Structure 1
Amino acid sequence: MEEPTIQKTELKKACVNCGAELKYKPGTTQISCEYCGHLETIALDENGFEELELYPFLEEMGAQKHSEEISMLHCKNCGADQHVEENYKSLHCVYCGQPLVIEDTYKEEWILPGAVLPFQIDKKKSFGIFKNWVKRLWFAPNNLKKAALDPQFTKGLYLPYWTFDAQLFATYTGQRGEYYYETKRVRNSKGKMVTQRVRKTRWYPASGQVSGFVDDTLIKASHQKTGRIPNKIASWDLKKLQPFDSGFLSGFVTEKYTIPLKDGHLRSKEIARDIADTWCRRDIGGDTQRVHSMNMSLSEETFKHILLPVYVSAYRFNGKEYNFFINGENGRISGSRPYSFWKIFFAVVAVLAFIGVIVLVSKK
């Protein structure tokens, strides 16, 4: 009978002292045992992370070298696909909190991550960030500050992204605009003649070419049907990326990409066109610019599948669920929150009363 294959992303590392599973310790390159305190260092690849040639993958060649099967759980409530570490006894979707049924596990092939940005803050610190956020909320109910977080429903989640690199070359035709000013006499709203300075533009033809390296165009690689990650926190320092090692995933949930590589590539080309337009305008110079035509080409295109950290959770208040998200690298927070009807009502009444007093005083 054939031995079952153990995949790199699912390999569990046991403590040599007590046998418990080792978990990644945020902000370090270590995995640790929560029971006996044993530490092990993650051995980083000295060669760094590899940029993969784009077109062999788009043509479905070479995928076997950099892909493998992983176990996935599909949330029937919100549609999220997630790879959940085995050590979670009570499985819940990181986005909507609904129970996940372990019997619904299925195998799916994915392009291996080339790099990961490890969590820099731990779950305890994320709680502190959440509590400080609640304290600063305007028009929040008084007893919201007493809302308790259930650690069971707060998960560290690695989000999948594509990054694309390319050499960009573009030629353009357009116009350079230079401002000049004329003084005119015009009649104002009171009927008086006044002097007014009017800005005008002289246009000159322009053409040329631009080129440069487009580095790490970041494209999200998953659709979240619910609990969409807010743009406010979706910014990471990619200089902190490390070569992929499954040790960084220990104790966390990993979401599988659902946006195919080819769709991510099409989006990256749109962003590259915006970059080329910016470069062309900079090359044209002057005070303002017009780009009439632009021909852009990309060469030496490469990509990476990377994983980026975020804490996802929810809290219940007066029977309603609210989501919040914390960037696992820099601690930025964004979330939904309840409002106090009475605080808003009395604030509006106070403002109207204040305006009324001003009106009465001005009439005396």
Structure 2
Amino acid sequence: MKQGPTQKSELKKACINCGAELTYAPGTSHLKCDYCGHEEDINPDESLLIELELKSYLDQMGAQSHSEEISLLHCKNCGANQHVEENYKSLHCVYCGTPLIIEDLYKEDWILPGAVLPFQLTQQESHRLFEKWVKKLWFAPNKLKRAALDPTHTKGLYAPYWTFDAQLFANYTGQRGDYYYVSVPYTTTVNGKTVTRTRQERRTRWTPAAGSIQGFVDDTLIKASHQKKGLIPLKIARWNLNKLEPFDTSFLAGFITEKYTIPLKDGHLEAKDEARVIADRWAKRDIGGDTQRVHSLDMTLSDETFKHILLPVYISAYQYKGKRYNFFVNGQSGAISGDRPYSFWKIFFLVLAVIALIVLILYLQGQ
């Protein structure tokens, strides 16, 4: 394990009254002591909310100006790299529940986050959403519904994402489609007689189109980590990035922080694909008409910048009959999504009941 000095992202802040560790209180702007209730304000430095120049990082220049070491535990089962705070006594991977071995702790450089979206929901509020979700499940096993789901299995995670900004310029060629309608005769039979009528059919008149579009592409959001299990579903992966705060380690206190495993250059390639989708949409809007075709798109991105940001999600990994299931809550909006088991016997007896009902109806109809 690589040794090194304690880095600022790993410093713990102690309560001035009782010495216990202060943790971030979701939905607030302060740290709180869970033992005596003492609170301290978080005052993030607004000057730290900056975009970093992309080119210098991709060229391996200037990368050390906003980077430092962080201690990590690697999950050998799903591949997630997690920075686990000391107040977590039970060290298990937040994604798949695999035990993490503290002796495997190692240090690695990371690009410091430029911003963080603080949790707005507490762990208790998240767990209540989980319980309500379980109670509403159709065909869920009774054992699962009766289970005293331990709130400590619901962990708060700051998931890493890249955001990219750029000035976009593109030349395009394509076609503009305008709808028009023609009367088309057809024959039909009315009262035994063949009659001719007309109906309106839509046609499209295509004309060549060419031009250029430009604009600012703001905060293209790209996931910065990859796991083999427990992927954060797209259903909950929507955050209001206007609420981002300048990065301050106080917001991380009491939560798990995941290190990115998708390199900046790979995230940038995905962001370029997203920019091309945006350019195609802008070109179609510029062409106008009722429908459009884009044949060629020569796109250029300039003044590219990026941020490494951390976004909040609660994850509950629970096990039923030897299989692990995941449940996710967006730590800002409360949006929920999860995997669930089904009761074979509940479905089996329902099918039997439906068959019996059909047999009974057929029997009564035959009387």
User: Match of 1:57?
Assistant: 57
Matched, 1:217 2:220: yes
Q: Against the structure 1 CA distance between its residues 204 and 338, is the aligned structure 2 distance closer, same or farther, given a 3 Å change threshold?
A: same
Q: Tell me if the contact between 1:147 and 1:316 (Cα under 8 Å) persists in the aligned partners.
A: no
Q: Is 2:91 aligned against 1:88?
A: no
Deviation at 1:139, TM superposition (A): 2.2
Deviations 1:280-302 (A, max 9, x none): 00011111101111111111110
Matched residue count: 362
TM value normalised by structure 2: 0.92
Residue 283 of structure 1 pairs with residue 286 of structure 2:
yes
Contact 1:92 1:153 in 2 (8 A): no
**1:244 aligned residue (244, 247, 264):** 247
Matched, 1:203 2:228: no
- Asked if the contact 1:48/1:242 (under 8 Å) is kept, the reply is no
Q: In structure 1, the residue corresponding to 2:43 is in which secondary structure?
A: coil
For the pair 1:139 / 2:155, whether they are aligned, the reply is no
Secondary structure in 2 aligned to 1:47?
Answer: helix
Match status 1:256 vs 2:255: no
Residue 48 of structure 2 contacts residue 114 of structure 2 at CA under 8 Å; is this kept in 1? no
**Match of 2:340, SS?**
coil
Q: How many angstroms apart in 1 are the aligned matches of 2:46 and 2:260?
A: 27
Residue in 2 that maps onto 1:303 = 306
Question: 1:338, 1:302 → 2: CA distance?
Answer: 44
User: Could you tell which deviates more after superposition, 112-121 or 78-87?
Assistant: 78-87
Q: Corresponding residue for 2:346?
A: 343
| Higher deviation after alignment, 277-286 or 89-98 | 89-98
Query: Is the contact made by 1:148 and 1:315 (CA closer than 8 Å) also made in structure 2?
Result: no
Alignment of 1:21-170 (within 5 A): 21-47=21-47, 49-170=49-170
For the residues of structure 2 that align with 1:231 and 1:219, how far apart are their CA atoms?
A: 12
Shift, 1:358, TM fit = 8.2
Question: After superposition, what is the alpha-carbon deviation per residue over 1:51-80, rounded to whole angstroms, capped at 9, x for unaligned?
Answer: 001000000111111000111111122222
TM-score (norm. length: structure 1) = 0.93
SS at match of 1:209: strand
Which range moves more in the overlay, 320-329 or 162-171?
320-329
| Equivalent position amino acid for 1:264 in 2 | G
Q: Distance in 2 between matches of 1:319 and 1:295?
A: 53
Gaps of 5+ in 1: none
Residue 172 (str. 1) matches residue 175 (str. 2): no
In 1, Cα distance between the equivalents of 2:129 and 2:118?
19
- Counting aligned pairs with the same residue, the percent is 68
Q: What CA distance in whole angstroms lies between the structure 1 residues aligned with 2:302 and 2:78?
A: 39
**Deviations along 1:251-282, whole A, 9 cap, x unmatched?**
11111001000000010000000000000000
Quote the offset at 1:189 in angstroms: 11
Tell me if the contact between 1:219 and 1:264 (Cα under 8 Å) persists in the aligned partners. yes
In structure 1, the residue matched to 2:327 is 324
- Cα distance change, pair 294–362 in 1 and its aligned pair in 2 (3 A): farther
Residues 64-107 of structure 1: CA distance to partner in whole angstroms, max 9, x if unpaired? 11000111111122222111112222211111212111110111
Following superposition, the deviation at residue 41 of structure 1 comes to 0.6
Flag the 1:354–1:297 CA change in 2: closer, same or farther, 3 A.
Answer: farther
1:266 counterpart = 2:269: yes
Give the alignment of 1:7-26 within 5 angstroms.
7-26=7-26
Q: Is the 8 A contact 1:147 1:317 kept in 2?
A: no
- Give 1:27 deviation, angstroms: 0.6
Deviates more, 1:88-97 or 1:145-154: 145-154
Q: Helix, strand or coil for the counterpart of 1:281?
A: helix
Deviations 1:150-191 (A, max 9, x none): 233321111000000011111111111011122223467999
Q: Is the 8 A contact 2:163 2:309 kept in 1?
A: yes
Q: Give 3-state SS (helix, strand or coil) of 2:274's partner.
A: helix
